[in-house]
Chains A and B, each alone.
Chain A
């Protein structure tokens, strides 16, 4: 593989995906005072955001997206929780729904953001439900929706809006 091929989207996209996976964790730890200030529990979900941008800008033409989704999900489970299944499933389900929605919706920014919103909701709800499977859930649905889902969606949609066009042109440049 010649050097110029390393700058192709099919190499850059997965590399950034894995780096962003760790950025989520370090953000959560460095901004912990802000994100987990009582009673809030805000999650940075940049990994899911990056997968959303991948779906929205159709990177699947060039790389095996599903494979990376599964690998990222397994890594996430292994590194952050030590319990396998929850986030692997959450990532797969969120990406599957976003891909289905993309067939229905058009390619405008707002449709894209709506798609991400639904994906995020699915991701968060699966993580909430899994707490009941392992018997560690200790937050009612209302406070989960109010103090976690709502601010998480606001934060991550804002990040998506800000990064939408830069990432789009970055992908164009790499293609």
Chain B
């Protein structure tokens, strides 16, 4: 009988396997440590981003048309619902403007500079998205040229969608919150409960439920379904007051010592055409 593998092939397969596993583990460790990738990788990514930008013109057009057609189907129902909300928002907006004015003048009186809630935004367009099993990342068309840095939060539509995971000169990558790598979704959040705030961090994402998980919560404050979740600003890089989502359910963790809170993210992680990067103003002036 012919042997399936000669001993030489077997040895080379094993060597190749070891090389590949160490390459994957090594580069993932390296990517976590550094703020910007090595020059060659950055140069290659900038070049690839340029090509991608050209290709994305027709495909984005096709995608947008498909989306608008599917949106058209439930426009009527949506319109009815939205109309009822508009009046409410107008009132909120006026209120917000007054409070903002008041806040500004009070800050001036106190001679406060930037606080946790002060941030400016840089808007960017999505040019690509990794067609991969893990590490769902977006490539956006702004990079270190526009002042972006690794770790900054990225918003789209209703709320936060992820963080900048790699900055090249003219483009950068956004790791989505649906990705359980530690640089994507470990940010400090705050739940506005009935009897006070509950602070904590996002500990993981449950892809099978499409929900964020805030683990190891020991606070006794009551948290109920539908409570709003926002960033707390603790840690410094991410400003306070960015909308994250709503509480979906509260369970005890495996040992019954602390609570595990499931959060329905506000942003739609599917359709992301434009994003905003929030740059905290603390330390900027």
Contact of B132 among A30, A127, A143 (CB under 8 A): A127
Contacting pair A82 B173 (CB below 8 A): yes
Tell me the nearest residue of chain A to B165, going by C-beta.
A82
Which chain A residues lie closer than 8 Å to B196 at the CB level?
Answer: none
| Interface assignment of B236: CB less than 8 Å from any CB of chain A | no
| Interface assignment of B199: CB less than 8 Å from any CB of chain A | no
Q: Which of these binds chain B: A54-62, A114-122, A130-138?
A: A130-138
Evaluate whether A78 and B41 lie within 8 angstroms (CB atoms) in the complex, with A31-B63, A83-B28 already known: yes
User: Main SS of the interface on chain A?
Assistant: helix
Q: How far is the CA of A60 from the CA of B166 in the complex (A)?
A: 36
Tell me the nearest residue of chain A to B181, going by C-beta.
A136
Interface residues on B, range: 35 or more
Report the interface size for chain A: residues with CB under 8 A from the other chain.
52
Chain A window 1-28, contacts with chain B (Cβ cutoff 8 Å), 1 for yes, 0 for no:
0000000000000000011001111111
Contacting pair A28 B130 (CB below 8 A): yes
| Interface assignment of A139: CB less than 8 Å from any CB of chain B | yes
| Interface assignment of B73: CB less than 8 Å from any CB of chain A | no
Contacts A32-B272, A83-B31 given; 17 further ones with Cβ under 8 A?
A22-B128, A25-B128, A26-B59, A26-B127, A29-B129, A29-B273, A31-B66, A33-B63, A33-B270, A34-B66, A36-B270, A37-B270, A82-B41, A85-B24, A133-B21, A137-B134, A138-B206
Mind listing 14 A-B residue pairs with CB under 8 Å?
A22-B51, A24-B131, A25-B131, A27-B63, A30-B61, A33-B63, A83-B28, A89-B20, A127-B132, A134-B181, A136-B179, A137-B180, A139-B207, A143-B207
